[in-house]
Amino acid sequence: MFEGSRRLGPGLQVLVLVAVVGLGFSAHAQQAPGATPAMGLEPPTLIESVEPAYPEDARAQRLEGEVVLRLSIDAEGQVTAAEVTDALGNSLDEAAREAALRLRFNPARRDGQPIAARILYRMAFLLPPEPTTGSVATQVFTASGAPGAAIEVSLTGPDQATARAATDAEGRARFEDVAPGHYRLQASSSAGTVQGDVDVQAGGEALAELRLPAEPAPAAPQPVEVTVRGTPSEARQRQESAEAVNVVDLRRAREQSADLGEVVARSQGVSVRRSGGLGSGARFSLNGLYDDQIRFFLDGVPLEMAGYTFGFSNVPVNLVDRVEIFRGVVPIRFGADALGGAVNLVTDQSHQTRLGASYQFGSFGTHRVSLNGHYRHESTGFVAGGEAFFDSARNNYRISVEAPDAQGQPQAVTIPRFHDGYGAFGGAVELGFVERPWASKLLLRAFASTFDKDIQHNIVMTVPYGEATYGEGVIGATARYEQPLAPNLELSVLGNVARRTIDFVDRGEWVYDWFGNRIRERVVDGETQGRPTDQTLWEDSALGRVSLEWAPHAEHVLRLALSPTHVSRTGDEHLQADPSARDPLTARRKLFTFVGGLEYELNALPVSGASDVLEERRRGTDYRIQNSLFVKAYVYRTSSEEALPGNIFRPLSRGSSSVGVGDGIRIRLTEWLYAKASYEYATRLPRPDEVFGNGVLVSPSLELEPEVSHNANLGPRLELRRAALGDFTVDVNAFWRDSSRLIVLLGNERYFTYQNVYRARSVGVENAVSWSSPGRLLSLDAMVTFQDVRNASSEGIFGDFEGDRIPNRPWLFGSWGARVRLAGLPGRDDTLEPFYTGRYVHSFYRGWEGQGLREFKQVVDSQLTHNLGLSWSMNHDARVTSTLEMQNVTDAAVYDFFGVQRPGRALFLKVTGEL
C-alpha cells in the first residue's frame, strides 16, 4: 500500500491558509441604508441579532461611533465574510467584525430560490448612560418607520420566567426592577420575529436594539435597509439556461458518508456501477452511454489532468461545491469532444476566506480525511488556497464465493476479502489575484496525487489473487487568466500540463485460495496474465484553451473557443524477458486533438427591461426565450508503433477531421414552468487509454475510429416555490441517441479491449420529483430512468446481434429519499436531520440477448438497497456537523457486475467543520 512515492517523490506538502479573526463583540447593530434591491430579488432579513459586550479598552477611553461592514451571506443565511468599509479603529473594528460573523439571516432570494448576497451593515457603538435605576429598557425600531406601532417584546431571565411588554409611541418597551443577570429578548410583529441578548448589571440600565424585518407601510414610503449586491447563483443560472444541464448541489452530501459516485447516481439518467468498495473501478453511464463517451472535468479541466486519476467516483466529495451534468449536448466552452455528455465538478469559486475539514471512518477499515482553506486580501485582491485529502480502506467486507473443500469439491462459503486494500493521498495549492483592474482572475494551481490498489480477483470473481497491485500518480499545474478587454468583450485563457504515472506489479509466486492461504508455488510467476509483470507507464499531456465572449447587447452573445490537446506516452517493463531486445512499452505513442467552437446566443422577450449590457448579464436578467446555436470542428491525429513478434515495431498513424452542429433552446412558459429542447451532431475522439490501453487490464486498440452521434433532448421543468403546500419541482427529459462507430469496452476473463460497434441507438425518459414542506421541515425526492440501448449494426463483428440490447448495462433504475429538518434541537443553535435513501436497479443480461438460451444466460440480478442516517449540525463560532449513517441496512447482496460482489451492511461516522 502507498507505493505512490515511486511516482510523486518522497512527500507531498499542501498549503492551507487560515484567516484568523479578532475577538470581541459589538454593542448595537443597525443595517446601513443603500439602493433599492434589484427587481426580482428579496434582500436578506435578520432573524437573530447578537448583543455582545462593549470592548473594554474602548469603554475606558469613552470611544463611540459607527462601523460599516460589507457582509457576505451564503444561501443558508450564514455570514461567511465581514469586511470593514468605514472603520473606527482600535478594537471597535474587530469587535464589529466578530459580531457580524455571528449574525443569522434569512437568505436573499430570487424567484423564491435562496442565493448568496452581499449587504452593507452598520454597527453603532454608543456608551450607555450613567447608572440610575435597576431597570432594563428595550428599544425597538420598525422597518416601516410607522410611529406608535405596538410590538410585543418579551424578556426571559435565568430562571426561565418571562415578562412581556408592548412598545410605546416612541418604540420603546420598559421592564422595571429587573434583577442582575443575562436575559433573552424577543420582539414579534406581523413582519416576523427577532431575538437578542442583554446583560443587566446591579443598579444599572441596559439598552438593547432589535430590528424587525421590513413590512409594508401604506402611509409612508418604506425606507431601504440593505443593498443586495448578489446575483442569482451560477448553479441556478446554469439550470435555467438553454443548456441541457442538471445541477447537483453537494451542500448536504458533504456532511454525509456517501461517496461522489453514490451521490450523483441519485440523479436522473445517471448510473454509477462499482466493482467493489472504496477505490474500486467504476463505470459511469449517462442516458445509456458509458465511460469515455462522457467527459469529466474539474472546473473545466479534464479530470485526469487536474489531479484525480483514480476516477470520478473516488474524488473527495468535500472538495467539490456542485456537479454539473450536461446531457448529450456539451457547451463549446469546455473545448470537449464528448459523445454522450459531460460532467463538470465545480469547486468553490468565491475566493472568500474560510477553512473546512472533514473526517470519516467506519466499516471495512475506511478512513477519509479532507482539508481545504482559502484566504483573500480584500485591498490587493490577492488570494491563496489549498486542499489535501487522504483515503484508506481495507475493503475486507464479506463475500459469497465457491471454494473447494477438503475433498476438492466446490462449496458455497461466506468469507472476508483479504487482498483489496486502497490508499490515496494528494493536494493542491492555488495562488493569484482576483477582481483587479488588470485581471478579473489570474490564478496558478499546482497539484499532485497518487493512489494504490490491490487486485483481489479476476474480472468475473472466480479466481482469487493475493499479490497483484496497481496504482497511478499525477503531478501538474493549471494557469487561468480572465479579463474584460472592453465593456462587452471578455477573454479567458487556460493552460494545463500534467504527468501521469501508471504502475502495475504482478510478480506473484504463489497460488492463493479465497481464505488468503498460499496453496502452492506457481510454475511461472504472475497471477493475472500467466506471466510476471512489473511495468511503469508515463503519460505527458498539455492542454490549452482560449475563449472570447462578445456581447454587443444583452440579447446577443457570440462566443469562440479553441482547445488543442497533446498526449504522449512511454513506459518501462522492468521484467523484460530479453534485456537486449527493445522494450515494447517504449513504442511511440502520441495523440493530438483539436476542438474549436463558435456559438451564438439569442435572448428574446425579456421579463425585465434591459439597460447596461454587463450589468444586465451580471444580474441575470431573465428572458422568456434563450437559444444557443453552435458549430464545432474536430481534428484527430495519432502516431504510434505496434509491437509485433520478433522485436518488430510497425509504425501506425491515423488522422481525421469533422464538423458538428448543435442548438439548445429554453422557453419560459410561466414564472414556474419552462421547457428545454436541444440537439447536437457530435464527434468523440478516442482517448489515450482506449487507444494505448491503461497499463493494467485494458489492452491497446490502435485501430479505433472516432465516434459520431446524433443527440437530442426534450422536456419540461416545473418549479413551484414558496407555495402554500411548500416547494415542488418536477423535471422530465426524453432523450434520443443515434451513434455510429460506438466504442464499447468488452472483455473476457483476463483482460478488456475497446472495440467499435458500428451503430447503436439509445432512447429513454428520465424523471425527477422533489418536494419540501413549508419551512422545509420535511423534504422528499425521487427519480426514475428508463433507457433502451440497442445494437443497430447489420454488419461487422456484431452484425449477428442487430436489435439486441448492448450487454451488461442497466436499463431501468431509480432512487428516492426523505429528510426531516428539526431546527433548534437539541440546542437553540443546533439542527437535527434524520434522512433515508433507497435505490433500485432492475436485472439485466451480462451478454448479448440473442446469444444462447435464456435459462443459461448470465444475469445481474435486481438490486434494492436502503440507507439510514442522522446528521447533527451545531452552529456556534463554527459550523460542525456529525453524521452517523448505515448503508445497505438490509445487508442485501449487491452486484453491479456479474459475479463481482459489492459491500454489504456498513456503518460510518463523519464529522465536518467550517469556519
Other beta carbons within 10 angstroms of residue 886's beta carbon come to 17
Angstrom CA distances, 861 to 55, 147, 179, 731, 889, stand at 68, 72, 71, 29, 18
Burial (CB count within 10 angstroms: exposed 0-12, middle 13-18, buried 19+), residue 904: buried
pLDDT at residue number 663? 95
Dump pLDDT digits (tens) for 548-558.
999 988 789 99
Closest CA to 293 of 315, 322, 326: 326
Dump pLDDT digits (tens) for 883-908.
999 999 999 999 988 888 999 999 99
Q: Which residue has the higher pLDDT, 195 or 678?
A: 678
* pLDDT range class, residue 377, cuts 50, 70, 90: very high
pLDDT at residue number 81? 83
Q: Per-residue pLDDT averaged across 365-373, rounded?
A: 96
Asked whether 900 and 854 are in contact (CB, 8 A), the reply is no
Phi, psi at 677, each rounded to 5°: -145, 145
* pLDDT range class, residue 434, cuts 50, 70, 90: very high
Q: What CA–CA distance (Å, rounded) separates 864 from 894?
A: 8
Residue 641 CA from chain centroid, whole number? 40
Q: What is the identity of the amino acid at 855?
A: E
Q: Which residue has the higher pLDDT, 657 or 406?
A: 657
pLDDT at residue number 564? 96
Q: Per-residue pLDDT averaged across 520-542, rounded?
A: 91
Least confident range of 103-112, 246-255, 560-569, 630-639: 103-112
pLDDT at residue number 697? 63
Per residue in 791-823, is it b (16+ CB within 10 Å) or e — as a string? bbbeeeebeebeebbbbbbbbbbbbbbebebee
Q: Per-residue pLDDT averaged across 730-751, rounded?
A: 82
Closest CA to 762 of 721, 800, 791: 791
Residue 760 has pLDDT above 80, yes or no: yes
Q: What CA–CA distance (Å, rounded) separates 819 from 797?
A: 50
Dump pLDDT digits (tens) for 835-871.
999 999 999 988 888 777 777 788 889 999 999 999 9
Angstrom CA distances, 396 to 276, 415, 459, 903, 904, stand at 10, 9, 18, 9, 11
Residue 398 has pLDDT above 90, yes or no: yes
Other beta carbons within 10 angstroms of residue 56's beta carbon come to 10
Angstrom CA distances, 157 to 175, 459, 578, 585, 681, stand at 12, 69, 88, 78, 70
Contacts of 544-548 with C-beta under 8 Å, sequence gap 24+, read 544/494, 544/495, 544/496, 545/300, 545/335, 545/492, 545/493, 545/494, 545/495, 546/491, 546/492, 546/493, 546/494, 547/333, 547/491, 547/492, 547/493, 548/489, 548/490, 548/491, 548/492
Q: What CA–CA distance (Å, rounded) separates 594 from 573?
A: 32
pLDDT at residue number 542? 97
Which three cell numbers mark 496?
A: 494545463
Least confident range of 115-129, 417-431, 482-496: 115-129
Name the one residue in this structure whose C-alpha cell is 505513442.
589
Least confident range of 87-96, 514-523, 791-800: 87-96
Q: Per-residue pLDDT averaged across 680-700, rounded?
A: 79
Residue 23 has pLDDT above 60, yes or no: no
Q: Per-residue pLDDT averaged across 62-73, rounded?
A: 81
pLDDT at residue number 349? 84
* DSSP element (H, E) containing 100: helix 92-100
Closest CA to 594 of 461, 683, 694, 503: 683
Establish how many alpha carbons lie within 13 A of residue 17's alpha carbon, considering only the half-sphere containing its beta carbon.
17
Q: Per-residue pLDDT averaged across 570-583, rounded?
A: 86
Residue 204 has pLDDT above 90, yes or no: no
Asked whether 455 and 528 are in contact (CB, 8 A), the reply is yes
Q: Which residues pair with 209 in a beta bridge?
A: 139
Q: Per-residue pLDDT averaged across 824-836, rounded?
A: 90
Q: What CA–CA distance (Å, rounded) separates 166 from 578?
A: 96
pLDDT at residue number 291? 76
Q: Per-residue pLDDT averaged across 708-736, rounded?
A: 90
Nearest 5 degrees, angle CA 583-CA 589-CA 593?
170
Residue 223 has pLDDT above 70, yes or no: no
- According to the per-residue pLDDT averaged within each range, which of 363-372, 718-727, 766-775 is highest? 363-372
Please give the radius of gyration of the chain, using alpha carbons only, rounded to the nearest integer: 31
Pairing status of strand 900-901 against strand 895-897 = antiparallel
Q: What CA–CA distance (Å, rounded) separates 896 from 813?
A: 12
Phi, psi at 57, each rounded to 5°: -65, -40
Sign of CA dihedral 873, 879, 880, 885: positive
Least confident range of 287-296, 453-462, 485-494: 287-296
pLDDT at residue number 125? 75
Q: Which residue has the higher pLDDT, 137 or 68?
A: 68
pLDDT at residue number 506? 93
pLDDT at residue number 263? 92
pLDDT at residue number 3? 54
To the nearest 10°, the Cα dihedral for 322, 325, 330, 336? 70
Helix (H, G, I), strand (E, B) or coil at 284: strand
* Peptide bond preceding 52 in cis form (omega within 30 of 0): no
Asked whether 660 and 689 are in contact (CB, 8 A), the reply is no
pLDDT at residue number 378? 85
Residue 718 has pLDDT above 70, yes or no: yes
pTM: 0.74
Residue 225 has pLDDT above 60, yes or no: no
Q: What CA–CA distance (Å, rounded) separates 718 from 9?
A: 52
pLDDT at residue number 817? 96
Dump pLDDT digits (tens) for 153-201.
777 765 556 667 777 655 677 766 666 666 777 776 655 666 766 666 5
pLDDT at residue number 409? 83
Per residue in 629-655, is it b (16+ CB within 10 Å) or e — as a string? ebbbebbbbbebbebeeeeeeeeeebe
Q: What CA–CA distance (Å, rounded) separates 556 from 491?
A: 17
pLDDT at residue number 39? 42
Asked whether 226 and 34 are in contact (CB, 8 A), the reply is yes
Q: Per-residue pLDDT averaged across 26-40, rounded?
A: 38
Q: Per-residue pLDDT averaged across 512-540, rounded?
A: 91
Helix (H, G, I), strand (E, B) or coil at 523: coil
* pLDDT range class, residue 610, cuts 50, 70, 90: very low
Q: Per-residue pLDDT averaged across 515-534, rounded?
A: 90
Per residue in 327-336, is it b (16+ CB within 10 Å) or e — as a string? bbbbbbbbbb
pLDDT at residue number 483? 94
Q: Which residue has the higher pLDDT, 747 or 56?
A: 56
Helix (H, G, I), strand (E, B) or coil at 871: strand
Dump pLDDT digits (tens) for 242-298.
888 888 989 889 999 999 989 999 999 999 988 889 999 888 988 888 877 889 999
Closest CA to 96 of 60, 57, 59, 125: 125
Q: What do you get for the CA distance between the two ends of the chain, in Å?
A: 34
Q: Per-residue pLDDT averaged across 782-805, rounded?
A: 88
Name the one residue in this structure whose C-alpha cell is 480477483.
457
Q: Which residue has the higher pLDDT, 562 or 403?
A: 562
Percent of the chain scoring above 90 in pLDDT: 43
Helix intervals (H) in 693-751: none
Asked whether 762 and 289 are in contact (CB, 8 A), the reply is yes
